[in-house]
Amino acid sequence: SQQGEEDPQALSIQEGENATMNCSYKTSINNLQWYRQNSGRGLVHLILIRSNEREKHSGRLRVTLDTSKKSSSLLITASRAADTASYFCATDETGGFKTIFGAGTRLFVKA
């Protein structure tokens, strides 16, 4: 399979709570990215973390990367109903030119 794994597949939380999504991948990578997709729409880039970085922040988003475990996590703090969407991790393989997407996590934030 060209896809990585993400967990959980679906996550339902209350507004104000934090949401954590995890992603694992299979190959050596140049960077890892997180994207958001609202239902029936294209993807929006959220954050990119390079293979030599371990943690990155952007607003309410915090991404970690552990290349030894080939895994990453996305933390959304103080979630809002508007954060309801599907979230995908994507990796650019070392030496390659393709972006491979994980299976995605569907997040539902209840108001």
Give me the residues that bind other proteins (CB under 8 A), please: 2-3, 31, 33, 35, 40-45, 48, 88, 90, 92, 97-104, 106
CB contact at 8 A, 104 and 88: yes
- The identity of residue 6, as a single letter, is E
Q: Of 45 and 110, which has the nearer Cβ to other proteins?
A: 45
Give the span between the Cα atoms of 98 and 90, in whole angstroms: 10
Q: Of 10 and 78, which has the nearer Cβ to other proteins?
A: 10
**94 backbone dihedrals φ, ψ, rounded to 5°:** -60, 130
Q: Of 4 and 78, which has the nearer Cβ to other proteins?
A: 4
Q: Of 78 and 101, which has the nearer Cβ to other proteins?
A: 101
Least distance in Å: CB of 5 to other proteins? 10
Least distance in Å: CB of 41 to other proteins? 6
Give the span between the Cα atoms of 63 and 51, in whole angstroms: 12
CB contact at 8 A, 50 and 31: yes
Least distance in Å: CB of 82 to other proteins? 18
Least distance in Å: CB of 6 to other proteins? 8
**82 backbone dihedrals φ, ψ, rounded to 5°:** -70, -10
